[in-house]
Structure 1
């Protein structure tokens, strides 16, 4: 039995429900029972493009429509790609006979995908040509003419009402109640933007022009495929500097026809990282809750309509501090963008280009696995994103100190530091207590340090004992 058949013909049994023929799952995952009173369930699954993402396409159909017990059986030894195993592989099923993998997969797949080619052609036609707005006018021209006349008559009536309202001050609506102004952040003038671009080094400039070339293709109507790039590098290599340059140029090119729309969105997983770049947090930008769990929970229609109106022109998403993003959060970003863009071809991130920036030697996700670690399910990271590494340190002018920082960055826990590095770091000690930001391993040390800094900053203070308090699990 393949995975798609199992999901269609069996259902999960709750703890309180008593079923006679229930089947116990391994690893204490509960019980399932075969559907007898109802029809087999409709199975929803990701459908990747066979031409744009061939490996993900063949991996997904093997997982769904081929009987297997472990992931290694989907690409046995001797097969480098899932497509090779699909076309040339053989398996033994319950009858102990040798069957072609392609024949087994196609037989199971045809049970769940009916008229799949025709539906794909229709979707591609809509994506390429768009929805014909004047289709109703061609079918019923008289009714369309009547509708347009009604709209024109309503406009004339509203105009007459507004003329009467202008003469009665009490009926005039305050403009503050119907409109408001929003300050646009991350806007550079042309002079500052050009200075920012000129300050990029050779590696940064190469990445910058690749993104710029993609933006020009979008503006000129060439419809290039979405880009997925991971920009990494150690501290001081100019990752944030490059982000600002890419954001400036992409906004300048993509916002020509719609200057007030959001074409480029800059996000970060934490509030501090977002504040440093004048960006938005991922959770706030896409209405994702704190408790991120799989399977993906779609967004409700009310909030979804707001996001669709807000991000209708979104073409490029930049995620900073990607090391703190886990597989579940990345899956939710993919799901939200698919809902917002209403992409029916299951393309990654709803056909929105994604630039991820960060360093996996830095902080990992608070809960969950880092993206470079394999995870169960569809891989939205390792096979999709291309790596661009910045190696030149531009923040420190001293090459010796720069090399020291790189060794500290890549050093494992059990590896001893070089004596020369320890001597250089000891020379930096001044003996004075610094007011710079400190990092401590425990909350107690944090509170003690904060109290000392407050007393030094404000010698004249008033101490007030709290009379009421409430225990909170969050604090």
Structure 2
């Protein structure tokens, strides 16, 4: 940029894509443009370039084809079920060869499904959906499987979201009721273990947390029988986490002091 230039706007990839040369080789989608071409400043002295350098129409940049390998493109993701317009607009911007932003027609989903564009290379009209699908295959190898998995995930997330939230609220309320009941109980064991001046004081029972290294050393110190009990309890906890109606845990442990 010229030091005296008053324009402080920084052009992005889309600006450079729409400003690309009119040559037939640039009748490509934005994904191909980003992956197959490198953008260089016109002020940069590129020596011994293996591919031709072509200047953009108005911006102070030039493009040259990549030699060794194409770049990996990154792009935003939109949920097809909950954000359809942005989802289809993103598909069209990435994989449909266009020369200006106005070439995309709203609503984008309808344009994707039934729209047509003129292909300069084949000199005929092509369906937008077919062109997008053909270009998309180069960057998303398992489109069908990915789409099916995405649709299933979206359906499950929409149907289970309310149920999961209801379960969380119900469990929270149940825990609150349990805590209030404990506070109101007269437990002689608490009175012996925790001698407090205030009779209304509630003693918290806190869970013990251990880091992974501490747990690993404890497991290694267990004998075979102790490990069997540990993993039996762990398996029950995992089942209880996913199914509140699992059978209660029943264990009878006996032995000498320190068992």
> TM-score, structure 1 length as denominator?
0.25
> TM-score, structure 2 length as denominator?
0.45
Q: Which has the larger radius of gyration?
A: 2
